[in-house]
Amino acid sequence: MQIQIKRAYSPVTIDDGLRILVDRLWPRGIKKQDAKIDLWPKEITPSTVLRQSYHQDLIGWEEFRAKYLLELRQHPETLAELRRLVQHHNISLITAAKNATQNHALVLKHYLEFPEDENT
């Protein structure tokens, strides 16, 4: 099965599979019933301190990425469950992130797809 990343503001489609919100905060302006979120594992979202440090430009992308990976590694049970789900379902990681090339959902997607990659 596959993992894709979708913005929370994009229309829900049948191809989304399981919709997993990967932001710590609920996306602004989106009604919960309209979002069709299946899971919201907040423990694997970037911590508030990390998220704010990155958004306030106190740390750069590479430092954010490295620190987020450290946070992810603290939740092996949740990550193992997500890997089990992706074996049987298409998964959409749902985020409100505007930057399509540097966001935590990309880091999480790669980590789920390549858990053995120590440079993830």
State the residue range of the domain holding 49: 3-113
Q: Is residue 64 part of a domain?
A: yes
Q: What are the tens digits of pLDDT across the range 6-41? A: 999 999 999 999 999 999 999 999 999 999 999 999
Residue 77 is assigned to a structural domain of this protein: yes
Answer yes or no: are the C-beta atoms of 53 and 71 closer than 8 Å: no
Q: Are β-strands 91-95 and 18-21 bridged in parallel, bridged antiparallel, or unpaired?
A: parallel
Rounded to whole angstroms, how far apart are CA atoms 95 and 100? 10
Confidence of residue 118 (pLDDT cuts 50, 70, 90): low
For every residue of 18-69, which 3-state class applies, written as one string?
EEEECCCCCCCCCCHHHHCCCECCHHHCCCHHHHHHHHCCCCCHHHHHHHHH
Q: Is residue 44 part of a domain?
A: yes
Provide the pLDDT for residue 1.
83
In a domain, 120, yes or no: no
Our count of domains for the chain comes to 1
CA–CA separation, 120 and 27 (whole Å): 26
Residue 71 lies in a domain: yes
Whether the model clears a pTM of 0.85, i.e. scores above it, the answer is yes
In a domain? residue 118: no
* Residue-wise pLDDT tens digits, 52-79: 999 999 999 999 999 999 999 999 999 9
Quick check: 103 and 95 in contact, CB under 8 A?
Answer: yes
Q: Per residue in 80-103, pLDDT tens?
A: 999 999 999 999 999 999 999 999
